[in-house]
Amino acid sequence: MRVLFVHQNYPAQFGHVARYLVERLGWECAFVSRRAPAAGESGEGVLHIQYAPQGGATEASHYCSRTFENAVWQAHAVYEACEQRLPWQPDLVVGHSGFGSTLFLKELFPCPVINYFEYYYRTRNSDLDFRPEFPPEPLDRLRARARNAMLLLDLDNCDHGYCPTEWQRSLFPPEFGEKLSVLFDGVDTGMWRRRPVPRRIAGREVPEGTRIVTYAARGFEAMRGFDLFMETARRIYEAYPDVLFLVVGSDEICYGGDERFIQAPSFREHVLRRGEYDLSRFHFPGWVSEQRLAEIFSLSDLHIYLTVPFVLSWSVFNALACECVVLGSDTAPVREVIRHRETGLLAGFYDVEGLAREAVAVLRHPQAYRSLGEAGRALVQERYSTERCLPATAELYERVKGQAPLTR
C-alpha cells in the first residue's frame, strides 16, 4: 500500500506514523512538507518532497480571509510538488486539515483522502472568549468564523477524517459526525518514561528534600495560563519554601493575541514585571530536547498543566507517561484525560488558591500521591500509546482505502 502524507511541517502528527507503516508493515510512504526533515530526523524508506508556496496573504488582504488565502496558496504548492515529483500513484492521501494541503489532490489522484482535524473555531464559549481580561475584538470573532472555511471544504472533500480526542471531535458540526473518528497521535512510552536521573539543575545539585515542580509549554502565554501558573507558584513557595520550579518553554506567543495587551517584549516579561517573584526559585531552561524533557519530568514531584478550552498539548500526555502527578486546569479538554484523584488532580483555571492548595498537599506528602502518577501512565499505555494508536491508525487507513473514493 502506498500512502502520501501531507503536512506543512515535518514530522508533526504523521512522521512516526509513516515510519511505522514502512518499517513494520512494509508499506511505501511519501511525506510532502514545507519544512524539510532535519539531519537524522527522517525515517528510513520515507520519500520526502518539499513544497514552497509562491504567494500568500498580504497586509492588503482582508483580516478575515488571510488564513484561507494562505491555505489556498499552500494547497496549490502541494498540488504542483506532487504532480512534478511524486514518482508513484498513492492508494491513500492523508493530510492535516486547516492548512488546506489536500484540497486539490483529488484532481491528481483517484484515491480516498483522509484528513486529520484538530480544531473547529467557535466565537462564543471557546478559547476566544474564555479569558475576559483578554477580550477579543469584534473582528476577531468574524475571523474565527472565516477560519473554518478550509476546514469545511476539507470535511466535504475528504472520504474520512479523524480527531485526536473526543472533545475536539465534539466541536465540529454534527452533520459531519459520521465522517469523523477519534484516534490519538500516539505517545512513545518507551521514550516517555520515568527514569533515574541525577538531581542536577543548571549545574547545581538539588537536595533530596527539595521538591521539584514542573511546567512545560510551547510558549509562555495566556492560552496556557502562564500568568496563573506564576501566581500559583508564588503561593506554593510561600506555603512550602523548599521547592524549585522548572519551567520549560519559549517566549513565543503561539496562540491568541497576547501582544495586544502587553507593553513588554514577551508575555513572560509582562507577567514578571507585574508580580513580585523570588526568581531564585525558578529555572527557565528554554527549549529542550525530548530526551531532556523526559529527564525533567522524571525529576518532577508535581507537574502543573493549565489551558483554556483548546487543543491539548502533547506535553501533558508525555508528563503522564513519565508518571508525573499532574495538576491540571478543570477545563473540558483536560477533564477527558485527567479524572480528579484517579489519574491526576484538577482545580479551576482561575482558582489560584485551589491550585496552590492541591500542589502543597502533594509536595508535603509526595508518596501519598505516587499512585496518581502510576495511574496516569497506565492510562496513556491503555488509550494513548503508540502501541495502541499506530495499529489502530493503520487499520483505519486500510478500511478507508478499501472504500470507493467520494467524487464531487
Q: Convert the pLDDT of each residue in 359-373 to its tens digit.
A: 999 999 999 999 999
Position 278 in a domain: yes
- Mean of all residue pLDDT scores within the chain: 94
- Residues 204 and 160 placed together within one structural domain of the fold: no
- Residues 265 and 393 placed together within one structural domain of the fold: no
SS3 (DSSP) at 222? helix
Say if residue 37's pLDDT is above 90: no
Q: How far is CA 354 from CA 236, 241, 348, 394, in A?
A: 11, 18, 7, 43
- Residues 223 and 365 placed together within one structural domain of the fold: yes
Say what the pTM is: 0.94
Position 193 in a domain: no
Judge contact between 10 and 60, C-beta under 8 A: no
- Residues 146 and 208 placed together within one structural domain of the fold: no
Per residue in 260-318, pLDDT (tens digit) is: 898 999 999 999 999 899 999 999 999 999 999 999 999 999 999 999 999 999 999 99
Position 269 in a domain: yes
Position 192 in a domain: no
**pLDDT band of 407, cuts 50, 70, 90:** low
SS3 (DSSP) at 303? strand
The enclosing domain of 355 has a CATH number of: 3.40.50.2000
pLDDT of residue 231: 98
* Position with higher pLDDT, 40 vs 3: 3
| Strand pairing class (345-347; 243-250) | unpaired
Total domains present in the chain: 2
Position 408 in a domain: no
Percent of the chain topping pLDDT 90? 88
Give every CB contact of residue 268 below 8 A, 6+ residues apart in sequence: 220, 226, 251, 284
- Residues 52 and 113 placed together within one structural domain of the fold: yes
Per residue in 58-104, pLDDT (tens digit) is: 999 999 999 999 999 999 999 999 999 999 999 999 999 987 789 99
**Termini Cα distance of the chain:** 24
- Residues 292 and 330 placed together within one structural domain of the fold: yes
Position 195 in a domain: no
Q: Which of 309, 336, 310 is nearest to 320 (CA)?
A: 336
- Residues 167 and 145 placed together within one structural domain of the fold: yes
Provide the domain limits for residue 98. 2-186+385-401
Sequence-ordered strand ranges (E) for 72-195: 92-96, 113-116, 160-163, 180-182
- Residues 250 and 361 placed together within one structural domain of the fold: yes
Say if residue 408's pLDDT is above 70: no
Position 344 in a domain: yes
Q: Which three cell numbers stand for residue 190?
A: 518507551
Position 76 in a domain: yes
- Residues 11 and 64 placed together within one structural domain of the fold: yes
- Residues 396 and 371 placed together within one structural domain of the fold: no
- Residues 250 and 230 placed together within one structural domain of the fold: yes
- Residues 135 and 247 placed together within one structural domain of the fold: no
Q: Which of 354, 295, 308, 292 is nearest to 327 (CA)?
A: 354
Asked whether the bond before 11 is cis by omega within 30 degrees of 0, the reply is yes
